[in-house]
Amino acid sequence: MTVENYKGNIENASSDKEKINLLIKEVVKRAQEIQPEIKALYEDFHENPELGGQEIETSKKIADYLESLDIEIADSHVGIEKKDDNDKVISTGTGVIAIVHGLDRSRSVALRADIDALPVDEDPKNSVKSKKEHLMHACGHDIHTAALLGAAKILKELADKGELPTDVVLLFQPSEEKTFQKESGAVQMIKKLEELGIRKNIEAFFGQHVTPSFEMGKVNIKEGIQVASSGEIDITLKTKGGHVADVYEIPNVNRIFSEINTKLYDIFEPLFKKNQSIVANTRVDYPRGGYNIVPSEGKSTWVVRISSENYKKISKDVLQQIKEVVTSTVEKYSNKDEVSVKIDTRLGYRPIVHRDPALVNIVRDSAKQVIKDATLTDNFLAAGEDFSFYPEDFRGKQIPGAFAMVGSANPENGFPIMNHHTNNFKVDPDVLKDMASLHVAFVLNHSIKDKSA
Ligand SMILES: [Zn+2]
Ligand SMILES: [Zn+2]
């Protein structure tokens, strides 16, 4: 059955909710029909992986496919300019922003897929495998890209039949795996959405991550904080060093760091016990020296993972406490200016915070409608994800978001339970139709959010 055949039923449906439910049933059928097409897209992306910021061919394929569907592309070069070793520009950005216009053009929902791969050598036993050495889609972003392209096709068909209630913004985002805010593709996309005037109409962001540690059918989404923030703080101390015989007379960075570590662990352990954060270091690095040499410098990196919605204040307090302990301990064991202190911070990703419980419910309802035998869970996850930036305040405006982890293991069919970023990473490609349907169902259910509330 096509969308057109279904229209009669939709017109007779007595309520908006009923209309949407009928449409979603049709979407599920349509996703099943186009599964071979989106699977072929996925296989092509999987065989031709590209690293973050260098997704040139991937980006072209995405734009070509969208163009073939007659979908409006707002920008296909979002991101940071990339140069080769000879300073020649090889890419002017690889992110793609496209819009499917619905009936109400003053409202929109944004759907996001990340498109980058990882520097991993793929296990040659994988049946669909990378053609490139030391490059692999080991996080499933190829699945995300293909699923969103499938959703784009269905959304455009709905729009052409006059059945798409609102605009839908499609975000094919580069550079998710970069770990630091400075290089995050999400941040580039948000800036571009604002610059193009598209962000002002967006009412919700929705993203999905394929998850081979869960079986097919399982969808994880949690109210409040779902994924922790990440970041690092480096403490570097430099002094003149010297002979062990003088250790009580000269500044001893080894002793200073010992005391700093003890004090900081004492300060941050209660936060961990309250489930608010992990602030910890694993070692202090000194230059190689002899047993009788007091080191002239040392460096210690503290990892900061905040798992509280109050993460901004906690992050600031953590940095302030580290600064105070370092300064007071250095003063205790050295005279003025004998030890130089440097404290550097590297901002990682924000935590993913689901501030609007209604969106979480929309994802759950949608999952139940489109995924066979869906089971819903609400676990907190320790992984980092730059989807986290979309629902954060940007230029004074915060837009809610929802991020679902979609189970994709199917041990009976040769897709065992496993973790992300492994060289034998694989998922059941049957999950593509589910993820494509979930994107579209999210849009449709969201369009009646306030009416059904
Ligand atoms: Zn990853
Ligand atoms: Zn990922």
Query: What does the DSSP assignment read for 361-412?
Result: HHHHHHHHHHSTT-EEE---B----GGGGTTS-BTTB---EEEEEEEEEBGG
Distance (angstroms) between ligand 1 centre and the Cα of 319 equals 27
Residue 13 has a pLDDT of 56
Closest to 208 measured CA to CA, from 146, 254, 272, 253? 146
Distance CA 171, CA 193 (A): 10
Q: What is the DSSP letter of 295?
A: -
Are 136 and 220 members of one domain?
Answer: yes
Burial of 388 (0-12, 13-18, 19+ CB in 10 A): buried
Q: Which residue spans within 34-116 are E strands per DSSP?
A: 72-78, 82-83, 89-91, 95-100, 104-114
- Asked which of 320, 347, 374 is the last residue of a domain, the reply is 347
Task: Report how many domains make up the chain.
Answer: 2
330's tokens: 């250095």
Are 98 and 215 members of one domain?
Answer: yes
Residue 172: strand pairing partners? 96, 113
Residue 166: strand pairing partners? 104
Distance (angstroms) between ligand 2 centre and the Cα of 135 equals 15
Distance CA 37, CA 191 (A): 32
Residue 1 has a pLDDT of 36
Distance CA 170, CA 99 (A): 6
Are 187 and 161 members of one domain?
Answer: yes
Are 106 and 219 members of one domain?
Answer: yes
Residue 5 has a pLDDT of 41
Which ligand lies nearest to the CA atom of residue 208 in the structure?
A: 2
CATH of the domain at 136: 3.40.630.10
pTM for the full predicted model? 0.87
Are 10 and 19 in contact by the 8 Å Cβ rule? The answer is: yes
Distance (angstroms) between ligand 1 centre and the Cα of 332 equals 44
Distance (angstroms) between ligand 1 centre and the Cα of 388 equals 14
Are 248 and 297 members of one domain?
Answer: yes
Distance CA 177, CA 115 (A): 10
Are 335 and 366 members of one domain?
Answer: no
17 inside domain: no
Helices (H), ranges, 137-291: 141-160, 185-195, 253-273
Look up the domain containing 330 and give its range. 231-347
The amino acid that residue 68 corresponds to is S
Distance (angstroms) between ligand 1 centre and the Cα of 306 equals 19
Low-confidence residues of the chain: pLDDT under 70 = 1-14, 451-453
